[in-house]
Structure 1
Amino acid sequence: MLQDIRRTAEYLNIVFKVSERCNLKCDYCYFFFAGDDSWKKHPPLVSPEVVDALGAFSARAAKKYGIERVTLIFHGGEPLLMPRARFADMCERLRKHEDGFRFDFGLQTNGVLVRDEWIDLFEKYQISVGVSLDGPPAVNDKHRLDLKDRGSYDRTVAGLRLLQEAAAQKRISAPGLLAVINPGADGGAVYRHFVHTLGVNDMSFLTPDYTWDSGVNEEIVRGVERYLLSACRAWLRDKNPKVHIRVFSELLSAMVSSQAMDLLRTYRDDYRNIISVSSNGDLAPEDTLRVVDPRFASMGLNIETHGLEDLVESDAWREQAEASLRRPEGCKACGWWNICKAGRPINRFSKALRFDNKSLYCKGLQDIYAEIAAFLVRNGIPLSEITSRIAAIDPAPAPEPGVAPENGQLASPPR
């Protein structure tokens, strides 16, 4: 268990729910509309006492496990619902606890409330900002509505433009975008809107939080997979090294670099370095897991009375740790395992088998891996190098894949 604690501490990420209310009502939101109502029992805004408790919790962990940097993401709900003076006080309080370590502040926002005064705070406290946006108006405003059922696209983009202007002035880092995949949308069109219209170079596409028990029909699943493949092809077609899409960029880097492969194999969809802290100080594993089982949300642990080791030694944590290492039956014969790890844990879950399932989006993930590998082959990277990196320390014997002559895609995944 000490090894698990050290692994968690090495790249410790804390998702801090500073506001457990929101000014939008995105119908797919795991936090408010997926069956976990714990937020109703928590304060709308985090108190100064909980902020101080988190600072002390982090300082204890840093001292005990030799942590030098702690990534702290201000999250929600919508974190900008916190009054600015109170937000500034929170940052000051947290900085006062830095003793032998430092917080790296980040914030995820829907962008609607971004104003120049907020950017002043982001600059002062060195906060990197991510904006949630699902695509052009017809895509974004299908699900991301405000409390009066109005679309949020225009206001979100207005906030994004303010952030981009501040980044151009070197006041803050460039904002990134986080898009939840709409199964009915064209991923390539969304990519082009983000990059060519909005001028964003850093983004991530998030699969919907469906589990094997969600009862979604096959067309929805296939729609998610088509979206991912279309976005991937648009990104590869641009050949723009400045554009970083986490789900794709990490894969491409891993296929050409053994060092990047080692990192991907270690951390790909493995949430053992992510913890969440609610507005009342309750501790839990990575936040989306709360919707699959109450034991991942209501653990009886709090930053005022418990330490990092209490979370890592809990049964719920142990289950997710074992899941990150266990190869599901449906993945036993798959040669992509080292770069896939069965996808996001929530997309693996079922009540019957828990995390012992392949991803709900398995076929789509395999298509992406093949697409990126084939792109590299077409651009001069030997197939043998790619397959040897992917198969490294993989116990399954692996015949070398072929390349489909019609379009240059891999005919089968590396084994």
Structure 2
Amino acid sequence: MHSRCDLACDYCYVYRFADQRWRTQPRTMTSHVAELTAGRIAEHVRDHRLTRIRVILHGGEPLLRTPDDLAAVVTRVRRAVGPAVTVDASVQTNGVRLSEDYLRAFDQAGVRVGVSLDGDAADHDRHRRGPDGRGSHAAVTAAIRLLTSPRYRHLFGGLLCVIDPRTDPAGVYRSLSDLDPPMIDFLLPHGHWSSPPPGREAGDAATPYADWLITVFDLWYGASAPPPPVRLLESIVHTLLGGGPAVQGIGLGPVQTVVVETDGTIEQGDVLKTSRAGTTRSTLNVASAAFDRVLLSPPVVAQQLGPLALAPVCRSCDLRRTCGGGQYAHRYRDGAGFANPSVYCPDLYRLISHIRRRLRDDLTGRGGVAG
């Protein structure tokens, strides 16, 4: 919806990594491009006889657009696909600009709201600052209080938190849980073998991210009262019990997301911009191309191959069905492409193994906490 942002988060995969094409993108998606996009979505729905789709208004920061602009896009999509198709519409925002005007518009248009929050003020403001260096926690928590008020609570989609292994995991988890979100989404910071995330080095057996998430898992799994859903952990549990993955980067399911940029270009998931400049570059545009053409493009086909797309060491791993090689973007290495294990391989193996032991102990009646 908008290719710019009003924050300057130090881990942002759009602005801080190799691909800087955002600088030449139009700032906003025009109403004409939005109409063409709605038409392509409707075409895809008809061709594949879909009855339910998910549309995410993203950025940059989408709330740099007006409330009416954002609501109009959702209205266009619903009108294009027709009343027989359910459109689960959401907006992912940093929360700084979230006001009652936006929430009224989202309420009328049926748009759920996800907000990024990295914990308490100290943890959040360590990374999520404005261009002037000032933290955003106060503005974001004020917005969340408004979002969770009785009038708008039904619009609350959840909280997104990027993991920093230097923080106290129990403290971060509790600060998010205290807001009673309908879902918490913990994200590993984006990086790969040629640009590793903080605390991860090639050949290092340390597992700072697994250690962090294991603390959260044990609190979440052992809670006496029903805890908020944690999407990453639920997805791991689900796949270990034989189900399919529910989150990108877990399991062997095919990629199911496509991005329409502000100029109408149809691209792969934009997290791949972390690898090298031009990785997601495309000649396809909603003005002339159907989404099926993206499905047939070699970079997307490579992500649809399941175990065949994994590195040899991953194919022989006992956790491959659950891990799935990790997030595709996290496998990249200069000169070798994506045919590698995840840069988070040691963390993923330890985390999934810990959860598997906990489940196995419970299912066999042994109980207890496995380290």
Distance 1:224 1:373, change over 3 A: closer
Equivalent residues of 2:235, 2:250 under 8 A apart: no
1:115 to 77, 82, 99: 99
What is the identity, as a one-letter code, of the residue corresponding to 1:139? D
Structure 1, residues 121-151: CA drift from partner, whole Å, max 9, x if none? 1111111111111111111111100121100
Aligned-partner Cα distance in 2 for 1:313–1:125: 33
TM superposition shift of 1:216: 5.3
1:188 to 170, 175, 188: 170
Question: For residue 128 of structure 2, what is the aligned residue in structure 1?
Answer: 144
Equivalent residues of 1:201, 1:242 under 8 A apart: no
Aligned-partner Cα distance in 2 for 1:185–1:314: 41
> What is the TM-score of this pair, normalised by structure 2?
0.90
Which 4+ residue blocks in structure 1 deviate beyond 4 angstroms? 215-221, 261-267
**1:249 corresponds to 2:234:** yes
User: Per the alignment, in what secondary structure is the counterpart of residue 129 of structure 1?
Assistant: strand
Aligned-partner Cα distance in 1 for 2:39–2:25: 21
Question: For residue 9 of structure 2, what is the aligned residue in structure 1?
Answer: 26
Question: For residue 70 of structure 1, what is the aligned residue in structure 2?
Answer: 53
2:210 to 202, 225, 228: 225
Structure 1, residues 241-287: CA drift from partner, whole Å, max 9, x if none? 3421111112223444x4x3587899737452110110111001112
Question: For residue 12 of structure 1, what is the aligned residue in structure 2?
Answer: none
Greater helix share, structure number: 1
Matches within 5 A, 1:6-405: 18-99=1-82, 100-165=84-149, 168-169=150-151, 172-196=154-178, 198-215=179-196, 222-256=207-241, 258=242, 260-261=243-244, 268=251, 270=253, 272-322=255-305, 325-379=308-362, 381-382=363-364
Equivalent residues of 1:71, 1:104 under 8 A apart: yes
Question: For residue 389 of structure 1, what is the aligned residue in structure 2?
Answer: none
What is the identity, as a one-letter code, of the residue corresponding to 1:42? Q
Aligned-partner Cα distance in 1 for 2:245–2:16: 37
Distance 1:222 1:255, change over 3 A: closer
Aligned-partner Cα distance in 2 for 1:324–1:331: 8
Structure 1: 5+ residue runs without aligned partners?
1-17, 384-402, 411-415
Aligned-partner Cα distance in 2 for 1:183–1:45: 35
Aligned-partner Cα distance in 2 for 1:363–1:267: 15
Identical aligned residues as a percent: 25
Equivalent residues of 1:289, 1:296 under 8 A apart: yes
Question: For residue 10 of structure 1, what is the aligned residue in structure 2?
Answer: none
User: Per the alignment, in what secondary structure is the counterpart of residue 184 of structure 2?
Assistant: strand
What is the identity, as a one-letter code, of the residue corresponding to 1:163? L
What is the identity, as a one-letter code, of the residue corresponding to 1:144? R
Structure 1, residues 322-351: CA drift from partner, whole Å, max 9, x if none? 476423222243211111101111111112
Distance 1:207 1:300, change over 3 A: same
Equivalent residues of 1:22, 1:81 under 8 A apart: yes
User: Per the alignment, in what secondary structure is the counterpart of residue 132 of structure 2?
Assistant: coil
Distance 1:363 1:81, change over 3 A: same
TM superposition shift of 1:102: 3.8
For structure 1, which segment, 318-327 or 138-147, has the greater mean C-alpha deviation from structure 2 after superposition? 318-327
TM superposition shift of 1:108: 0.3
What is the identity, as a one-letter code, of the residue corresponding to 1:250? S
**1:409 corresponds to 2:366:** no
Aligned-partner Cα distance in 1 for 2:246–2:229: 17
* Backbone CA RMSD of aligned residues: 2.6
Equivalent residues of 1:134, 1:178 under 8 A apart: yes
For structure 1, which segment, 118-127 or 312-321, has the greater mean C-alpha deviation from structure 2 after superposition? 312-321
Structure 1, residues 360-383: CA drift from partner, whole Å, max 9, x if none? 12222222222222323443x139
Structure 2: 5+ residue runs without aligned partners?
none
Structure 1, residues 38-71: CA drift from partner, whole Å, max 9, x if none? 1112111110001000011011111111122221
Structure 1, residues 68-114: CA drift from partner, whole Å, max 9, x if none? 22211000011111022322333333332123534221110011111
TM superposition shift of 1:355: 2.0
Equivalent residues of 2:328, 2:338 under 8 A apart: yes
> What is the TM-score of this pair, normalised by structure 1?
0.81
Aligned-partner Cα distance in 2 for 1:382–1:203: 29
Structure 1, residues 364-410: CA drift from partner, whole Å, max 9, x if none? 2222222222323443x139xxxxxxxxxxxxxxxxxxx9x9x7527
What is the identity, as a one-letter code, of the residue corresponding to 2:123? V
Aligned-partner Cα distance in 2 for 1:109–1:122: 13
